[in-house]
Amino acid sequence: EVQLVQSGAEVKKPGESLRISCKVSGYSFTTYWIHWVRQMPGKGLEWMGTIDPSDSYTYFSPSFQGHVSISVDRSISTAYLQWTNLKASDSAMYYCSRRGTAAATKNFFDSWGQGTLVTVSS
């Protein structure tokens, strides 16, 4: 069974750093790209960026480029989303997801983590 299990809720202060994780199981970690999606309170889903776990190639939505980073640790099948200078506006739920593949289509997300709530407040 494919599972993506995310780290627990975080409460941080503005300016602090944070790394949240997404541990996968049930498939070969390096085979499928991992994506991160944000949901701000009361708002919709926003795609942030993605990483190819096989070579750590990343690319981001212009809205998030330069503000977050994504990495992996292949030895423990885990992907990370990281901030170095949190802002109050980063308060949101963050989901990791796996890019699905099918015979005739791609670019969708077939499995998701349960979400990590990040609260940034002074």
Which residues within the stretch 53-92 sit at the binding site for other proteins (CB under 8 A)? 59, 61-62
109, 50 contact by CB (below 8 A) = no
Judged by CB under 8 A, does residue 112 bind other proteins? yes
Judged by CB under 8 A, does residue 93 bind other proteins? yes
Q: What's the min distance (Å) between Cβ of 36 and other proteins?
A: 11
Q: What is the DSSP string of 27-49?
A: S-GGGS-EEEEEE-TT--EEEEE
Task: For residue 35, list its beta bridge partners.
Answer: 50, 97
24, 6 contact by CB (below 8 A) = no
Judged by CB under 8 A, does residue 1 bind other proteins? no
Helix (H, G, I), strand (E, B) or coil at 82: strand
Judged by CB under 8 A, does residue 33 bind other proteins? no
Which residues lie near other proteins (CB under 8 A)?
Answer: 4, 35, 37, 39, 44-47, 50, 59, 61-62, 93, 95, 97, 100, 102, 104-105, 107-115
